[in-house]
Every structure is written in structure tokens, then in C-alpha cells.
Amino acid sequence: MSRISKALLIVLSVATGALFLYSAFTKLFPVQSFEYTLSDQAHLPHKLASITARFFAGLEAGLGVLIVLHFFGRAKWVLKAAFTLVVIFSIYLIWLWITAGNNVNCGCFGDAIWMSPSASLIKNAGLLMVLGILIRFHQGLHFRWINLSAATFLLCAIASIYIFFPVFKRYHVDFAAVYADKEFAPAVDLSKGKYIVAFLSPSCMHCRKAGLKIHNMHLHNPSLPFYLIIGGTKSDLADFWRDSKAEDVPHTRLAQEPFMKYTHGLFPTILWVNNGEAEADTGYPELSEVVIEKWGATAGN
């Protein structure tokens, strides 16, 4: 094989691995956006969507690094795993195209790049072709522990996502920052009683969908204990109110710094707060009027 051919294979390998890494990055920042995409489009329960989102992001990140480093393992199982993953994604895209149409964001690059199922399938076809070339012609690195090293790194990459982006756990919610700004301080004490507190960013597409669903439920039953905390006290809310229609729901504004502290950069964040304790974190597709009524009717702990 000529030096030019070898150089081209190296470039293809680095570019392919970088694409996997970029795809993982856009799914993780913010990871909750990818969670809602899976919940909305694949109809997964929120908890399962949270687990699944992290798994695929970690798998893509791990495979991306290994491909960039030319750690293909014996029989090039890393490249074959990447090829299989792209095939699985493509099958999902075909299903999504059939069930939801072509005018939806498939979530392949999170919210960073809006991509329809058909466009993503074209991208995947090119990626499969490149992976096929690498499997056929690129040898990668070889040493005694290559297989064990690659497998260990991939497992660590997946596990690390759950460490750095943990699935929700019950914790105490300190609303002190929410009451610090007297102009926007809530008229109710959110640390006492039961409230569904939704942290929404005006620029977030899924936040607008969450706001619209909450508005519709509040319109049907005004007694539901919803409270919206909207990030950015100086931002223009005209587009947010137009899309969500949620201006009628009790709400307050919160500056960017405390808003990010509460949400950790993940939004929409919807907490079921019972006397200051967040008992649950659910996605907006799972919000149910009947369940909220039952939860609100039970005595606070």
C-alpha cells in the first residue's frame, strides 16, 4: 500500500472518530435535550430515556476516541461495532420517518444541528461507506493488549457518562436564590407544600413544548400545583410566550447564574417538590393530570 493510501486511511479514521465524538458531545450538552428527543419520538419512559441517552452518548464517545487513536482491536471489532451502531441508528431513522414524518429533528446532533431523518440517513450512508473502507483496508495499531485495552476503555467511557451526568436522585431544593430578587419573587413558599416546579429556558425548544403542555393542563385544571421558573430575567419572552402560551401559569424569572445552578445546564428540569424535597424528576411527556392530582392530594411528608 502506498504512503498516500496509508495517509488517506489515517485521515479517514481521525475524521470518522471525530464525527462520533462530536455526535456524543452534542447529545451530552445538554443531555436532557437528547433524553426528551428519545422520550418524545421513541416513546420511552423518562427514566429509561435518561439511561438510554447516556449509554449511546458514552458508546459514541468511546468508539470515537478509539477510532481516532486507531485502536481497532482484534478482527477490527471497534470499527465493526461502530458500523453496527450506525446501522441501528439508521433503522431507527427509517422508523421515525415513517411514524413522524420528515419534518422533525432526529436528534443525531442534539439541538446543535437540526437534521431530518432523510438527511441523517444520507449522512449515515456516507459514514457506513467510510467505515467499510476502514474495515477492509486500515490495519490500525497492533500490540499484545490491544483487545483488552480497547474493551476496557470503551466500558470506562460508558460508565464515566453516568458518573459525570448522573440520572436524577432525590435531593433537597433550596429556593433561596428564587426569592433573592424582590421584583420576581414568587408569592408562594415553594419550600412548603407540593409543587411541580418546571425550570425552563426561553431559548430551549423542549422547554417551549413543556410550557405548552403545562399550559394546556393548567387551562383544564387551574388547581394543579404548577410553578414555572424561567431563566434569564432580562431576556425577551415574546417568542417563548407565543409558542408555549404558558403566561397564565404562575411563574417567576431567575438570573442565569442561579438558574444554571439549579438545573446544572440541563433543561427543561421538572421537579416534583414536597416540602423542599425533590421526590421525582420527570419529562414533560409523562406529566399526567390524574397522577398530579393523586400526588397533590396525598399528605406531605
For the chain, what is the mean pLDDT? 90
Q: Which residues of 135-162 are buried (b: 16+ CB within 10 A; e: fewer)?
A: beebebeeeeebbebbbebbeebbeebe
pLDDT reading at 141 higher than 80: yes
Last residue of a domain, one of 108, 131, 164: 164
Query: What is the domain range of residue 279?
Result: 171-297
Residue 288, pLDDT score: 84
- Separation of alpha carbons 300 and 274, rounded Å: 6
- Considering the chain, what percentage of its residues have pLDDT values greater than 90? 63
| 181-221: pLDDT as tens digits | 888 899 899 999 999 999 999 988 899 999 999 999 999 99
Do 262 and 202 sit in the same domain of this protein? Answer: yes
* The domain boundary residue, chosen from 115, 140, 164: 164
Domain's final residue, options 100, 135, 164: 164
What's the pLDDT tens digit per position in 50-59?
Answer: 899 999 999 9
Q: Is the pTM of this model over 0.75?
A: no
pLDDT digit string (tens) for 93-126? 999 999 999 998 898 998 788 899 999 999 999 9
Both 58 and 13 in one domain: the answer is yes
181 and 156 in a single domain? The answer is no
CATH number at residue 234: 3.40.30.10
* 179 and 124 inside one domain: no
Mean pLDDT of 270-294: 85
Average pLDDT (71-75) is 95
CA distance readout (Å), 149 to 24, 145, 146, 155: 21, 6, 5, 10
pLDDT-based confidence at residue 170 (cuts at 50, 70, 90)? low
What's the whole-number mean pLDDT along residues 162-172? 77
